[in-house]
Amino acid sequence: MNQWTELLKMDDIPQLGARVLRTDTMDIAVFRTAQDEIFALQDKCPHKGGPLSQGIVHDNTVTCPLHNWKIDLNSGEALAPDVGCSHRFPIKVENGVVYIQLAVESAVA
């Protein structure tokens, strides 16, 4: 059951920035790159739980605001030599609108 949930217009996310989706169980960070690619990760750095949505986005990477771990937006994996992974969620853009799949079991990294 891969249900797509409508989130917001892509233009409501700043380029090289992020917005936060608050669900009952967790916060999810929705990122937009300079090339208008969209990614969604649990808003929690694998290091000390810092809010990734508040970090600086560059290329396809976000730098966590707490201790500067760099997380690959595509995979959710920390860049070497750090090790760890933030949960990622399937996300897509259609006609300028962003959709996400929230069913956790369908979002295996």
Partner 1 sequence: MKQKLILIGNGMAGVRTLEELLKLTPDLYDITVYGSEPYPNYNRIMLSPVLAGDKTVDEIVLNDLDWYKDNGIELISGDPVIEIDRNKREIKTQSGAINSYDRLLIATGSNPFMIPIPGADKQGVIGFRDIHDVETMLGAAKDYQNAVVIGGGLLGLEAANGLQKNGMNVTVVHLLDSLMERQLDKPAATLLQQSLIDKGLQFKMQAQTSAILGEQRVEAVEFADGSRIEADLVVMAVGIRPNIELAQSAGIHCERGILVNDTMQTFDPRVYAVGECVQHRGSCYGLVAPLFEQAKVCANHLANYGIARYQGSVTSTKLKVTGIDLFSAGDFNEADGDETLVFQDPAQGVYKKLVLTDNRIKGAVLYGDTLDGSWYFQLMREGTSIADFRQSILFGQHDLGDAGHGDSKVAALADSAEICGCNGVCKGEIVDAITKQGLFTLDEVRAHTKASSSCGSCTGLVESLLASTVGEGYDAAPSKKGMCKCTEHSHDEVIRGIQQQPLKDMRSVFEFFDWKTEDGCASCRPALNYYLLANWPDDYQDDAQSRFINERAHGNIQKDGTYSVVPRMFGGLCTADELRAIADVSDKYNVPEMKVTGGQRIDLFGVKKEDLPAMWKDLADAGFVSGHAYGKALRTVKTCAGQNWCRFGTQNSTGLGVKLEQLTWGSWMPHKFKMAVSGCPRNCAEATIKDFGVVCVDSGYELHVGGNGGIKVRITDLLCKVETEEEVLEYSGAFIQKYREEGHYLERTAPWVERVGLTSIKQVIVDDPVQRKALFERFKHSQQYAQVDPWAARAEGTAAHEFSTIRIA
Contacts with partner 1, residue ranges (CB under 8 A): 5-8, 12-17, 19-23, 27, 30, 33-34, 48, 50-51, 54-59, 61, 63, 65-68, 70, 81
Q: What is the DSSP letter of 78?
A: B
Which residue number, 17 or 90, has a Cβ lying nearer to partner 1? 17
Q: Which residue in the block uniquely carries the two structure tokens 């891969």?
A: 2
Which residue number, 45 or 76, has a Cβ lying nearer to partner 1? 45
Closest approach of partner 1 to the CB of residue 105, in Å: 19
Closest approach of partner 1 to the CB of residue 85, in Å: 18
Residue 107 near residue 87, CB atoms below 8 Å: yes
Closest approach of partner 1 to the CB of residue 75, in Å: 18
Dihedral sign, CA of 83, 88, 92, 96?
negative
Residue 59 near residue 68, CB atoms below 8 Å: no
